[in-house]
Structure formats: structure tokens, C-alpha cells
Amino acid sequence: MVLLLGTADNYIKKTRAVFATLYPDYSSVNSVAFRAGGALWLYAAHPSPGNGHFDAWVNAGADSPSGLKRILAQQALAINQNTRN
């Protein structure tokens, strides 16, 4: 698994486009996760206290964009775990 620190929509969009060109096996899992190079790649909020997004990412519910991204990352992890068993 590879964690990409940052959950801004523009960052996700641009980096996914780059990885899709770099890895022939690139496949989307959901809006914050993909598979490439034999690994699961996840976008997560950077834990820096100065970025202002980490607390929302950790604590918010699905009605918040940050909370929804965390939930989607958790779902991708669960799918990955289930496919490995």
C-alpha cells in the first residue's frame, strides 16, 4: 500500500492522471484509491496540524467532503483486505 498525502480534488485529479500514464495496470478503486504497480494507492489527509484538514478528515461524517474521502479510503482498504484473504 502507498499513501499519498493530500486530499485536495485538484491534486487527486492531476496525480491520478500521471499515475495512469506511468502504470499500464492502473485501475480505479474509487475517487480516493487506485491500484497500480501491484499496490493499492490511497489519498489521505496530511497529518500536519497546520493544514487545517486533518481533523475534519478524521472526525467528519459522510456529509462532509473530508469525511467522505476518509470513508472511501476505509472502504478501499477493506476491499483490499478481502481480496488478499
Please say if the pLDDT value at position 85 is more than 70.
no
pLDDT at 5: 94
Asked if the model's pLDDT at residue 82 lies above 90, the reply is no
| DSSP string for residues in 23-67 | -TT-EEEETTEEEETTEEEEEE----TTSS-HHHHHH--TTSHHH
Q: What percent of the chain has pLDDT over 90?
A: 74
84 pLDDT more than 70: no
> Do residues 22 and 9 make contact, with C-beta atoms less than 8 angstroms apart?
no
Task: Give the Å distances, CA to CA, from 55 to 18, 32, 51, 82.
Answer: 28, 18, 10, 28
- pLDDT tens sequence across 18-76: 999 999 999 999 999 999 999 999 999 998 877 777 888 888 899 999 999 999 999 99
